[in-house]
Amino acid sequence: MSRPESGTGTTVLTGAEIVWATLEGEGVREVFGYPGGAILPIYDALRKFPIRHVLVRHEQGAAHMADGYARASGRVGVCMATSGPGATNLVTGIATAMLDSVPIVCITGQVSSKVLGSDAFQEVDITGITLPITKHNFLVTRAEDIARTIRLAFQIATSGRPGPVLIDITKDAQQTTASFEFAAAAPSAARPHPMLRAESSSIREAIALIQSAQRPIILAGHGITQSGAEAQVIAFAESQQIPVASTLLGLGSFPAAHPLNLGMMGMHGESWVNHAIQEADLLLAFGMRFDDRVTGNLAHYAQNAKKIHVEIDPSEINKNVRVDVALIGDLRGVLDTLQPLLPKRTDTGWLRKINASKGTAAVRDIINLPDNGHLYAAHVIHDIWREAQAAGREHDTIIVTDVGQHQMWEAQYFKHEVPRSLVTSGGLGTMGFALPAAIGAKTACPQKDVWVIAGDGGFQMTAAELSTIVQEKLAINIAIINNGFLGMVRQWQETFYEKNYSASPILSPDFVKLAEAHGIAGAHIAKRKDVTPAVTKARTSGQPFLFNFQVEKEDGVYPMIAPGAALHEMVHRPERDPLLETAEDE
């Protein structure tokens, strides 16, 4: 049959064709997946539709790619897998998207509806398994329900607080026919959370608190980018002269170079940021959820501060931190309401006080010390940023990190000026995320420079996706921060387990040879002077590159707040070498 046109009139299609026609209607251009028995009808129909399919090497990669695609572009990421093991392999990726509120739609094949529940070959109750890690999920057993369900899934994934949605489609539903009309399958208007309202009394209270505050701080979270409220936040902060601290996922939502930007808060945030929060008399939490990595010990968190929480998900209010005013709603709308009601403020005393408290922290920073012959992860990350900045590509570079020490160094040393320039697994902390998520990011944004920054441990979890890069001809550059350890585990063992390095030393293959085996160029780098030329070569080549950066083995991420400690009880950077203390800022 000829390819059906979506959106115009009614046609009779198989369920499998309806899947693609509906995805096409929703504007999907790329899908990440892996075929198998129960989803073969859908794969058979793929050739009739103008949608690019990226074959992954493991279904976990498919879910991470859809996730990276969504985070980099703001569009819904779509992944596919067959029933049984295909579906269960998606689980870690779905949970990753759930914890970070990323809109993805996962489509899984399922055994025929007649044998559902009979332990048929490759049958697994994936809607049951994913119930707590999806925003919603569906089991579809009839072809006529497919279009409506997929359209509803897209609406659920993107509305309110975004999140992953899974659709499990039985094989018989894919094979039987039904009439299809894209427009007729539209869901009714999204049902907002009924508790969603920023009441005028709360707005008045918020305004009173903001006006009387002497030491206010904005806590910038992921919700700013989710809401598209970056401009509103900048305007608000500037008009009220309120300094801005970011969560890990909030990095990039407020420009790093902005004079009001303080940087990242929390467990590995700079000391002056955390001290400022502890000293503040007003916290304005914008689209963040007071995660334990951000607050430290809750009993001692910002005790002098009134708290205003602007949040779209009412179940987050008073979950971890009791707030004085809750403005439940979309951040952009709330700020549009607040802004005109607040007179401009010009007092910069509080910001100057915070800046004055930086003290010697910056001088002790490894990044400001002269080359002592050792390569530190901070150097690598800082130099990748400097190189992008020098080339004028700082707004067009997406860094995708894995999880661990390098992730925190990235957050500290790569200065993110624009939203969606950092893709990282914050909530779930999923090792193995970087490489597949970067494939998703590069697929969504082929014009951007995409860098994977991963540790030697996490990279090996999903290294099979190297061949996906080659098959899909994606120019992704990979920086492996290799210290021979599961670095963050080692650092915790050093600090809390008397240096008992239990199972944290890790042997790695020769990553450069591994890259070569895939047809990817690479190099070992162990000297700081070699970093920038290598980075330039990779960025300008138009080809994928892999660098194995052999860095200092037992380096630690500082500052650090021990679990259970209060935000101001941080461990500062060690003084490495007194002779180097006088070094100038480079």
Partner 1 sequence: MLHTFVALVEDKPGVLTRVASLFRRLNINIVSLTVGESERPDTSRMTIVCDAHEHAAHRIRASLYKLETTVHVDEVDRSAAVVRELCLMKIAVGPDAPNGPHSRSQIFELANVFRARVVDLAPESIMLEMTGSSSKIEGLVQVITESGYTILEVSRTGRMAMRRGHHTSRVLSALGSRPKADGNGDNHGSKLDFHGNLGDEILPNEFENVHEEEI
Cβ proximity to partner 1, 197 vs 527, nearer residue: 197
Q: Which stretch binds partner 1 (CB under 8 A): 100-108, 200-208, 434-442, 497-505?
A: 200-208
Q: H-type helices in 416-486, by residue range?
A: 434-444, 456-461, 466-471
Which residue out of 5, 114, 121, 554 is catalytically annotated? 121
Look up 205 and say whether it is catalytic: no
Residue from 19, 80, 106, 156 in contact with partner 1 (CB under 8 A): 156
Check residue 9 for interaction with partner 1 (CB under 8 A): no
Q: Which of 490, 470, 495, 501 is nearest to 554 (CA)?
A: 490
Q: What are phi and psi of 178, to 5 degrees?
A: -155, 160
Residue from 58, 64, 71, 135 in contact with partner 1 (CB under 8 A): 135
- Looking at residue 585, the DSSP 8-state letter turns out to be P
- The alpha carbon dihedral of 42, 47, 52, 55 has a sign of positive
Check residue 57 for interaction with partner 1 (CB under 8 A): no
Look up 554 and say whether it is catalytic: no
Look up 80 and say whether it is catalytic: no
Neighbours of 132 (CB within 10 A): 8
Cβ proximity to partner 1, 146 vs 431, nearer residue: 146
How far is residue 206 CA from its own chain's centroid? 30
Check residue 200 for interaction with partner 1 (CB under 8 A): yes
Cβ proximity to partner 1, 315 vs 372, nearer residue: 315
Binding mask 162-191 for partner 1 (x = CB under 8 A): --------------------------xx-x
Q: What is the DSSP string of 31-61?
A: EEE---GGGHHHHHHGGGS--EEEE-SSHHH
Q: Which of 135, 196, 435 is nearest to 328 (CA)?
A: 196
Neighbours of 361 (CB within 10 A): 15
Check residue 292 for interaction with partner 1 (CB under 8 A): no
Q: How far is the CB of 318 from partner 1 (least distance, A)?
A: 7
Check residue 314 for interaction with partner 1 (CB under 8 A): yes
Check residue 330 for interaction with partner 1 (CB under 8 A): yes
Query: Count of alpha carbons within 13 Å of 357, Cβ hemisphere only?
Result: 17
Check residue 337 for interaction with partner 1 (CB under 8 A): yes
CB within 8 A of 446, min separation 6: which ones?
none
Query: What would the two tokens of residue 12 be?
Result: 């009779």
| Cα–Cα distance, 220 to 332 (Å, whole number) | 13
Check residue 116 for interaction with partner 1 (CB under 8 A): no
Q: How far is the CB of 428 from partner 1 (least distance, A)?
A: 15
Which residue out of 135, 171, 306, 307 is catalytically annotated? 171
Residue 443 DSSP SS3? helix
Residue 496: enclosing H or E segment and its boundaries? Answer: helix 487-496
Which residue out of 26, 30, 59, 472 is catalytically annotated? 59
Look up 586 and say whether it is catalytic: no
| Cα–Cα distance, 452 to 411 (Å, whole number) | 14
Check residue 142 for interaction with partner 1 (CB under 8 A): no
Look up 488 and say whether it is catalytic: yes
Residue from 194, 370, 542, 574 in contact with partner 1 (CB under 8 A): 194
| Cα–Cα distance, 27 to 197 (Å, whole number) | 31
Which residue out of 488, 545, 549, 570 is catalytically annotated? 488
Q: Cβ distance 134 to 143 under 8 Å?
A: no
Residue from 212, 214, 304, 318 in contact with partner 1 (CB under 8 A): 318
Q: Total residues at the site for partner 1 (CB under 8 A)?
A: 33
Check residue 201 for interaction with partner 1 (CB under 8 A): yes
Q: How far is the CB of 247 from partner 1 (least distance, A)?
A: 21
Q: How far is the CB of 100 from partner 1 (least distance, A)?
A: 16
Check residue 198 for interaction with partner 1 (CB under 8 A): yes
Cβ proximity to partner 1, 125 vs 569, nearer residue: 125
Cβ proximity to partner 1, 145 vs 555, nearer residue: 145
Query: What would the two tokens of residue 1 be?
Result: 């049959």
| Cα–Cα distance, 153 to 168 (Å, whole number) | 11
Show contacts with partner 1 in window 363-402 (CB under 8 A): none
| Cα–Cα distance, 412 to 270 (Å, whole number) | 8
- 498, exposed or middle or buried, with CB in 10 Å at 0-12, 13-18, 19+? exposed
Q: Which positions are catalytic?
A: 59, 121-122, 171, 488
Residue ranges in contact with partner 1 by CB under 8 A: 127-128, 131-132, 135-136, 139, 156, 188-189, 191-203, 313-315, 317-319, 329-330, 333, 337
